[in-house]
Structure 1
Amino acid sequence: MDVTELKALGKARLDDEDLDGAMEAFENATRAAPSDHEAWFHLGVARFQAGQLEAAADAMTTASKLEPDDPDTWRVLGSILDDMEELDRAIDAYKKAIAIDDRDVESWNNLGYVYIKQERARDAIAALERAREIAPDDPGVLFNLAKMQMEVQDWSGAIKTCQRAVEIDPEDPEAWCNLGTAWFKDGDGDATAAIDAFEKAIKMDPEDELAWYNLGIARRASGNINAAIDALQKALAIDGENGHVLYNLAAALLIQGNRKKAMDYLEKAIAIDDEIAGEVLEDEDFAKLRGDPRFVQLTRSHDERDDEE
């Protein structure tokens, strides 16, 4: 078989999800024509799909040297390097793709995502804003942008982004959950709108622990304590080891007047996450417990308890 036939065979096997067969065909193609960019590119794709990341990066790097002006090659190389946690190299690859094609929305979005992983919020937002300019209705772009807007506490910006996301896909529970969070955090917090958004998210995904948790927080803030307890208990049923669910459930139970049960949940919360001991001391809902010996013992710093031990 000549190189054209080998490449066609490899593509057919890729379409059939026969990754071993595809890799074999493309490897034979690269041996038959070592300077064939397409053969190296598709070999990299096949290896990437097979989870052979280092080998995929090697093939795609070879492809990039053969055709350095192909944005697709740089973008896929960036994705491979991202999966390898070679984040600086991934950024460099995405930037090269963008330098060739400034309207490559996937590279802009992926670049923003890598910046998110590096906790470079402002750089992430700049990249994602550019992606949104190019593709204002791309759900992935809107999701990543909203995430970073919330990270920097740009609640009004996050509200607009999330509203657009749910307009595009009203059946996306994650978008509704993000919208609820942004509404709740914006200014004094719109608990009513937030509750409605969280309830929509839960209707679509009843196993969404975060939506149940956020619903409980919003209901607690609105004064609907019984409903808050119900939501937090549902979150706890999904993940019984979430310290902040336990902490907020303790607060709601204390407001309800169930002091002993509140203390039991608080003890579990602090055992899971020692930082909660500091948070609870600043929570006015627990002010009535500050003279309680059990509460005092629970809220001592981690270092003080370690010294005693």
Structure 2
Amino acid sequence: MRLAAIAGLLLIVLSGCQTANSGVVRTNEPSKGDVTAFGDAFDGLKTVSDVEYYASDQAVAEAKNQFRAENYGNAGALFYKATQLAPNDGGAWMGLAASSDRIRRFDLSDHAYRQAFRLVGGTPEYYNNVGYSYLLRGKLQDARSNFLKAYELSPNDPTVANNLQLLSSSVKNLER
């Protein structure tokens, strides 16, 4: 008798677990026959994806394109987004630092260079970028020491050689 009472109670509890819908799963995507508030069909319209779902490498690629186009503010925003998506991406931190240098936000670039050094170490690219940052600030001694570190690590790098030449022309311009 006790077993029958437990089975009956279990049957009553489980019957309450049934759903009343037809099993249709709803999404935020419009159905084929849906129309907009203006009476237009949704056919051909694309929904906007959530920015937080972008991969960091996509954000970095977009940021590099903006940097090449000299849109340094946009590049910085995209590199910042990449650092939020992947905080251990040293390339994203380097890009954020370089973009911040170009818009003269040296407080941000200093922070980004510290993070980049922690992740990528003292690479020729790192020392070259830090040297260029100091060059933009007018700190020529600091720029020279970083350019020389980059040159020691990669003596055949044309970018480092060009920056050393740029530094020497900056010194000549100051002497005038």
Query: Taking structure 2 as the reference length, what is the TM-score of the superposition?
Result: 0.61
Aligned to 2:173: 287
Identity among equivalent positions (%) equals 17
CA contact (8 A) 1:207 1:238 kept: no
Shift of 1:165: 1.2
State the 1:154 CA deviation: 1.8
| Partners of 2:63 and 2:75 within 8 A in 1 | yes
Q: Secondary structure at the match of 1:241?
A: coil
8 Å CA contact 1:150, 1:158 repeated in 2: yes
Corresponding residue to 2:112 among 187, 197, 200: 197
| Higher CA-based Rg | 2
Q: Deviations over 1:149-202 (max 9, x none)?
A: 11212222111111111122222110000001111112xx22332233123212
TM-score normalised by structure 1 residue count: 0.37
Structure 1: unaligned runs, 5 residues or longer = 1-101, 104-129, 255-282, 291-309
Equivalent residues in 2 for 1:1-309 (5 A)?
Answer: 136-186=53-103, 189-252=104-167, 254=168, 284-287=170-173
Look up the equivalent residue of 2:172 and give its one-letter code.
F
Counterpart CA distance in 1 for 2:50 and 2:143 is: 39
Aligned AA (1:159): G
* 1:37-63, Cα deviation, whole Å (9 max, x unpaired): xxxxxxxxxxxxxxxxxxxxxxxxxxx
Equivalent-residue separation in structure 2 for 1:146 and 1:175 (angstroms): 9
- CA drift of 1:207 comes to 4.2
For 1:178 and 1:194, locate their aligned partners in 2 and report how far apart those are by CA, in whole Å: 9
Tell me how far apart the structure 2 counterparts of residues 238 and 159 of structure 1 sit (CA, whole Å): 27
Change (3 A) 1:288 1:180: closer
Flag as ranges the 4+ runs of structure 1 deviating above 6 A.
Answer: none
Structure with higher helix content: 1
Whether contact under 8 Å (2:101, 2:136) holds in the other structure is no
d(CA) in 2 for partners of 1:236 and 1:199?
20
**Gapped runs of 5+ residues in structure 2?**
1-45
Amino acid at match of 2:147: L
Q: Do the aligned partners of residues 207 and 284 (structure 1) sit closer, same or farther apart at CA in structure 2, a change above 3 Å counting?
A: closer
Aligned-partner SS, 2:155: coil
Tell me if structure 1 keeps the 8 A contact 2:72–2:100: yes
> Contact 2:52/2:85 (CA < 8 Å) preserved in 1?
no
Q: Is the 8 A contact 1:173 1:201 kept in 2?
A: yes
The answer to whether the 8 Å contact 1:217/1:228 transfers is yes
Q: Within 2, Cα distance between the matches of 1:167 and 1:216?
A: 26
CA–CA distance in structure 2, aligned partners of residues 251 and 150 of structure 1: 20
Q: CA RMSD in A?
A: 2.9
* Aligned residue pair count: 131
